Structure 1
Amino acid sequence: MAITVSIELNRELELPAGYDEVFELLADVPRSASHFPKVHQLTDLGDNSYRWEMEKVGVDKHAIQSVYACKYYADKDAGKITWEPVRGEGNGVVSGSWTLKARGDNATAVKFQTSAELTVPLPSLLKLAISPVIKHEFNSLVDTYMNNLKKAF
């Protein structure tokens, strides 16, 4: 038995760095991922695709681990970095984008949008209890990621 939890996140922030510097960091997936909390392993699958394996959350047989892979596309002229799911990798399907806009020479406005579906091996009876916990954890990780990115500049 398994349950699937859907998550949609949107964040906007301004980073204290020039457009080129911000784009370079966000388009470099391993470098950007180094600022994301609780990443157990990031594996280069080639062709700008990466498998994300997050740290396990929970205890023993009740531990949940998110594993998913995405292919990344960077278009500096359009100010967009997007990612699409690589099917058949792990228990998650994740897509999303960064949209960047220069705010003078030393600031860049960024919009982060992501959608995720995570399938976890739990009885469907637990969906109502577990779904908010998973969503909260995902929100917390993304908020920490945003704060880490601010500190990086």
Structure 2
Amino acid sequence: MAITVSIELNRELEIPGSYDEVFDLLADVPRSAAHFPKVNKLTDLGDNTYRWEMEKVGIDKHAIQSVYASKYVSDKDTGKITWEPVKGEGNGVVRGSWVLKAKGDTATTAKFQTSAELTLPLPGLLKLAISPVIKHEFNGLVDTYMANLKKAF
């Protein structure tokens, strides 16, 4: 038996770096992922596609791990970086985007949007209890990621 948890996140932040610096960092998936907490392993699958394996959460046989892959497309002219899920990779489906806009020469406004569906091997009865915990954890990871990106500049 398995449950699926859906998560949607939107963030907007100002990064104290030039448009080119911020775009180049975010479009470089391994460099950007280095700022994301609790990544156990990032695997380059080729063609700007990466498999993310997050650290396990929980204890022993009750530990759960999120694994998913996404293909990334960057367009510097429009300021957009998008990612789409790769079917059949892991237990998650993740898509989203960054939309960047220069704010003068030394700052960049970044809009982050992502949605995820995680399928976990847990009994259906646990969905009501576990969904808020997973959403809270995911929100915390993204908030830490945003703070780490700001510190990178």
* TM-score, length-scaled by structure 2: 1.00
Deviation string for 1:76-124 (max 9, x for gaps)? 0000000000000000000000000000000000000000000000000
1:122 counterpart letter in structure 2: L
* Match in the other structure for 1:42: 42
AA matched with 1:96: G
Q: Which runs of 5+ in 2 are unaligned?
A: none
Which residue number in structure 2 is paired with residue 147 of structure 1? 147
Q: How does 1:3-152 map to 2 (within 5 A)?
A: 3-152=3-152
Distance 2:114 2:61 in 1: 29
| C-alpha separation in 2, matches of 1:151 and 1:78 | 25
Matched to 2:23, the amino acid is F
Aligned-pair CA distance for 1:24: 0.1
Q: State the SS of the aligned residue for 2:140.
A: helix
- Once residues 74 and 96 of structure 1 are traced to their aligned partners in structure 2, the CA distance between those partners, rounded to angstroms, is 12
Opposite residue 19 of structure 2, the aligned amino acid is Y
After TM superposition, where is structure 1 displaced by more than 2 Å over at least 4 residues in a row?
none
**How many corresponding residue pairs?**
153
Cα distance between partner residues in 2 of 1:116 and 1:11: 15
- Amino-acid identity (%): 84
| Rounded Cα–Cα distance in structure 1 between residues aligned with 2:61 and 2:4 | 18
CA deviation map 1:49-69 (0-9, x unaligned): 000000000001110100000
Shift of 1:132: 0.2
Q: CA deviation at 1:125?
A: 0.2
TM-score with structure 1 length normalisation? 1.00
CA RMSD of superposed structures (Å)? 0.2
